[in-house]
Structure 1
Amino acid sequence: MLREDHKRRLREEFNKKLENPVKLVVFTQEVECPFCAQTRSLIEELASLSDKIIVEVYDFVKDSEKAKFYMIDKVPAVAVVGSRDYGLRFYGLPYGYEFQTLLEAIFYASTGRTDLSEESRRRLKALKTPVRIQVFVTLTCPYCPQVASLAYKLAVESDMVRAEVVDISEFPHLAYRYAVMGVPKTVINDKVEFVGAVPEKLFIEYVMLATGSPGYIF
Structure 2
Amino acid sequence: MLDASLKTQLKAYLERLTQDIEIVADLDDSPKSQETLGLLQDIDGLSDKVTLVVRHEDTGVRRPSFSIGRPGAEAGIRFAGLPMGHEFTSLVLALLHTGGHPSKTAQDVIEQVRALDVPLSFETYFSLSCQNCPDVVQALNLMAVLNPNVKHVAIDGALFQEEVDKRQIMSVPTIYLNGEPFGQGRMGLEEILAKVDTGAASREAAKLNAKAPFDVLVVGGGPAGAAAAIYAARKGIRTGVAAERFGGQVLDTMSIENFISVKETEGPKLAVALEEHVRQYDVDIMNLQRAESLKTTPEGVEIGFAGGATLRGKTVIIATGARWREMNVPGEAQYRNKGVAYCPHCDGPLFKGKRVAVVGGGNSGVEAAIDLAGVVSHVTLLEFAPELKADAVLVRKLRSLPNVDIITQAQTTEVTGDGSRVNGLVYTDRASGQSKTVALEGVFVQIGLVPNSAWLKDSGVALTRFGEIEVDARGETSVPGVFAAGDVTTVPYKQIVIAMGEGSKASLAAFDHLIRHSAPAEAPAEAATA
TM-score by length of 1: 0.83
Structure 1 residue 97 corresponds to structure 2 residue 86: yes
2:393 aligned partner:
none
Give the secondary-structure state (helix, strand or coil) at the position aligned to 2:103. Answer: coil
Larger relative contact order (Cα-Cα within 8 Å, sequence gap ≥ 6): 1
State the AA in 2 paired with 1:50: S
2:63 aligned partner:
75
C-alpha displacement of 1:118:
3.6
Deviation digits for residues 161-193 of structure 1 (CA, Å, limit 9, x no counterpart): 001100011111221233221111111123342
Pairs within 5 Å for 1:169-188:
169-188=158-177
State the AA in 1 paired with 2:190: K
Deviation digits for residues 99-122 of structure 1 (CA, Å, limit 9, x no counterpart): 221111111110074344344344
2:141 aligned partner:
152
1:215 aligned partner:
199
State the AA in 2 paired with 1:215: G
CA contact (8 A) 2:26 2:57 kept: yes
C-alpha displacement of 1:4:
1.0
Give the secondary-structure state (helix, strand or coil) at the position aligned to 1:102. Answer: helix
CA distance change for structure 1 residues 34 and 133 in 2, over 3 Å: closer, same or farther?
same
C-alpha displacement of 1:204:
0.8
1:88 aligned partner:
77
Structure 1 residue 38 corresponds to structure 2 residue 35: yes
State the AA in 1 paired with 2:21: V
C-alpha displacement of 1:85:
3.2
Deviates more, 1:191-200 or 1:179-188: 191-200
1:101 and 1:156 mapped to 2: Cα distance?
13
Q: Which runs of 5+ in 2 are unaligned?
A: 202-306, 308-530
Q: Computing the radius of gyration over CA atoms, which structure comes out larger, 1 or 2? A: 2
Give the secondary-structure state (helix, strand or coil) at the position aligned to 2:152. Answer: strand
CA contact (8 A) 1:86 1:109 kept: no
Question: How much is the aligned-residue C-alpha RMSD, in angstroms?
Answer: 2.1
1:12 aligned partner:
12
Deviates more, 1:164-173 or 1:116-125: 116-125
1:64 aligned partner:
none
Deviation digits for residues 80-111 of structure 1 (CA, Å, limit 9, x no counterpart): 01253341100011222222211111111100
State the AA in 2 paired with 1:60: E
CA contact (8 A) 1:116 1:153 kept: no
Give the secondary-structure state (helix, strand or coil) at the position aligned to 1:99. Answer: helix
Among the aligned pairs, what percent are the same residue?
23
Give the secondary-structure state (helix, strand or coil) at the position aligned to 2:151. Answer: strand
Q: Which runs of 5+ in 1 are unaligned?
A: 62-66, 209-213
2:9 and 2:101 mapped to 1: Cα distance?
23
1:130 aligned partner:
119
2:24 aligned partner:
25
Give the secondary-structure state (helix, strand or coil) at the position aligned to 2:158. Answer: helix
Give the secondary-structure state (helix, strand or coil) at the position aligned to 1:93. Answer: coil
State the AA in 2 paired with 1:45: D
C-alpha displacement of 1:123:
3.5
1:166 and 1:92 mapped to 2: Cα distance?
6
Give the secondary-structure state (helix, strand or coil) at the position aligned to 1:170. Answer: coil
1:192 and 1:206 mapped to 2: Cα distance?
12
Deviation digits for residues 8-66 of structure 1 (CA, Å, limit 9, x no counterpart): 22222222x21112111111123xx34111101111012111111111101132xxxxx
2:56 and 2:49 mapped to 1: Cα distance?
23
More helix by share: 1
CA contact (8 A) 1:133 1:186 kept: yes
Pairs within 5 Å for 1:97-116:
97-111=86-100, 113-116=102-105
Give the secondary-structure state (helix, strand or coil) at the position aligned to 1:73. Answer: coil
CA contact (8 A) 2:26 2:61 kept: no
CA distance change for structure 1 residues 47 and 183 in 2, over 3 Å: closer, same or farther?
same
CA contact (8 A) 2:67 2:75 kept: no
State the AA in 2 paired with 1:35: K
Give the secondary-structure state (helix, strand or coil) at the position aligned to 1:194. Answer: strand
2:149 and 2:191 mapped to 1: Cα distance?
18
1:203 aligned partner:
192
CA contact (8 A) 2:132 2:173 kept: yes
C-alpha displacement of 1:126:
4.1
Give the secondary-structure state (helix, strand or coil) at the position aligned to 1:20. Answer: coil
Give the secondary-structure state (helix, strand or coil) at the position aligned to 2:99. Answer: helix
Deviates more, 1:185-194 or 1:48-57: 185-194
1:92 and 1:131 mapped to 2: Cα distance?
22
1:181 and 1:126 mapped to 2: Cα distance?
33
1:199 and 1:45 mapped to 2: Cα distance?
30
1:189 and 1:147 mapped to 2: Cα distance?
16
2:105 and 2:81 mapped to 1: Cα distance?
26
1:162 and 1:28 mapped to 2: Cα distance?
20
